[in-house]
Amino acid sequence: MDTTLSAPIGQLLDGRYLVESQLARGGMATVYLGRDVRLDRAVALKIAHPELARDPEFTRRFIGEARAVARLSSPNVVAVFDQGTTGDINYIAMEYVPGPTLRELLNARGRLGPREALDVIEGVLAGLAAAHEAGIIHRDVKPENVLLGTGAAVKVADFGLARAAAGLRNTKTGLLIGTAAYLAPEQVSSSSSDERSDVYAAGVMLFEMLTGSQPHTGDTPLAVAYKHVNAVVPAPSSLVPELPSALDALVALATSRDPELRPPDAGHYLQAIAQVRRGMPLTPPRRGAHAAPPDPGDAFPIHQAGNATTFSLASTGRISGPGGGGGAGEYPSGPAAAGGANNTMIVPAGGPGDHGPYPPRQSRGYREPFLQRWLFSRRIIAVLAVVVIAAAAWWLTSGQYFSVPRVVKLPVASAAAELKAAGLLVTVGKPRNSDSVAKGDVLATYPGIGARVKHGATVTIIPSQGPVLVSVPNVTGQQLQAAEQALRSAGLTPGTTSSRASAGVPSGVVVTTIPAPFTQWPKDKPVQIVVSAGPPLPDFTGQQLSQAQATAATGGYNIDPEPVAKSSEPANTILRQQPQAGTPISAGEVVIVWISPGPPEVPVPNVTGENEHQAIQQLVQAGFTVSVQGGTFGQRVTSYSPTGQAPKGSQITIVVGFGL
């Protein structure tokens, strides 16, 4: 189908509606965000695709449905403001709802809680009830067509296109359009639909909201439709065991395969939900053993005749591809919102007067009283009795009790909020000291964590005051044994003992404590004691051996010299030591030092009789330093010492004068 629209963004329709941006696109229409320039408000503009708009029958139904929905006055129906035609463009101006669809919410959350699911389905049924009262059947109830506005607003959308398209397809090919996952059995088997078909789809949606999955799935839409005809919708509690049995009964009531056993319209189904909500303990969730839910097939039997469960397709039956869906969903944008997904089902319709296994519906002028049709049925009464008895037994034995939540070690404010949310009253008791729970957190509760209490019971929170704190006494300068006794007398526990060198504290005397003296410290937390290991070992590097030996004799320890093979340092110079400088040293210990043997000896040049200047030059070149004694500069060397050999780098003394 050519879905190219002749209404580009930016066009002004009928001089009033400015097309601003596309919101959603389906197989039969595209929804745009527009602005009513006359009233200066946002609107949603649904524009039929040109190929459909050129069909007179489709156009007639499209306009007729828009007018019918425009007459509805319900906060749960997307309002229709206007309808118009500009050239080959058929459009409907509708209320713009900026919130997400129910499908988007389920995709994000998976499933909803019972209370939230019933809130949503009540909004849907309120909108459908207004439509049913006005003689309008939706025919394509699904999460994509349920919009969730601001606050708790629930609005049903897309009343018009599905019926208009169905009329067009029936006129031309005898086919019926619907979404396979939500098709009522009669829509598949006989192409008939009425208010009870919308009720069936609402029951399937309730199942999906409670369980997070659709009741019937398959590889193809055809397989899904076949299951709707031949299999009952399972109880929600078969997938989520904690769901109450009353929810099973609500789903079974709406999804009976026999339409005569369903509520006759959305209004009656809404009444049934309201009755159950008034008597069903939705919170807290069911705990303990789960009572077996009623069998939907037994509770709401299906009266079938002949080949009522036979599902067959003529050779013309087919499954539409993308874009063959039931019209554009009502914004926001996205493939699901736009409709036309692969789960759209097209099956052959029956011939005139062929209603399949289901008898034709009575005219709208007379409707059998709802209570006579199902509430006072013997089977319904039996099921409701079982549900009431099971609910009462559950409530008396376990439903009214639940365990105190685990709030230990949470901040008091957070714990109180959690207990109140669970339906309990909260008081705060006198704080107690604790070594394991931080100050301000919950130390305990009365009744204790996990204790079984009734809703509304009072739970007392005991805050932690933190550990008992004691001031650490100053034991610096005491012997170790005396320091330990002083700590015990203060109510503290002596911990491990460590040692470190101290120049001013004798060995074995307490230097400090960890923590430091006068610190407020938990009573049961050990205090570490640090004692002196004596003065630190000096750094002997660069000193002469004799100097180090004198220092060691004063400290009561010994020096063990070890000469190295060679060194340019003067003889007996200490090059390194073990232990390292700063290490605690005790009397009697031995310190190893490595000493230099002195630089190697080299021949001293004979400079007697040499000019002073020449003598100095020769000695320096040989690796010596020179000291001059005697006459004035320039005289000759009369003598020098030492002679022969001397350590390289040592000093040679020369004497100059007039002797030679």
Strands (E), 448-525: 452-454, 458-463, 469-471, 494-500, 510-514, 520-522
Exposure of 231 in the CB half-sphere (CA atoms within 13 A): 14
Determine the Cα–Cα distance for residues 200 and 602; give it in Å rounded to an integer.
Answer: 117
Q: Terminal CA-to-CA distance of the chain, rounded, Å?
A: 132
Cα separation, 122 vs 99, in Å, equals 18
Tokens in use for 644? 């022969």
Contact 97, 108 (CB under 8 A): no
Q: Which residues pair with 146 in a beta bridge?
A: 156
459 beta partners: 426
- Rounded CA-CA distance 22/4 in Å is 13
Query: Per the residue annotation, which of 36, 88, 140, 219 is the catalytic one?
Result: 140
In Å, how far are 101, 172, 363 from 336, measured between CA atoms? 9, 27, 35
User: What is the rounded radius of gyration, in angstroms, for the C-alpha atoms of the chain?
Assistant: 50
Q: Which two tokens stand for residue 204?
A: 């399937």
CA–CA distance, 526 with 487 (Å, rounded to integer): 10
What is the SS3 assignment for 381-393?
HHHHHHHHHHHHH
Residue among 430, 446, 214, 169 at smallest CA distance from 325: 169
- Read off the amino acid at residue 236: P
For residue 265, indicate whether it is catalytic.
Answer: no
Helix, strand, or coil (residue 594): strand
* Alpha carbon separation from 187 to 16, 197, 373 (Å, rounded): 40, 7, 22
Q: What is the DSSP-derived secondary structure letter of residue 184?
A: -
Strand partners, 527: 494
Sole residue written with tokens 């099973």? 248
Catalytic residue annotation = 140
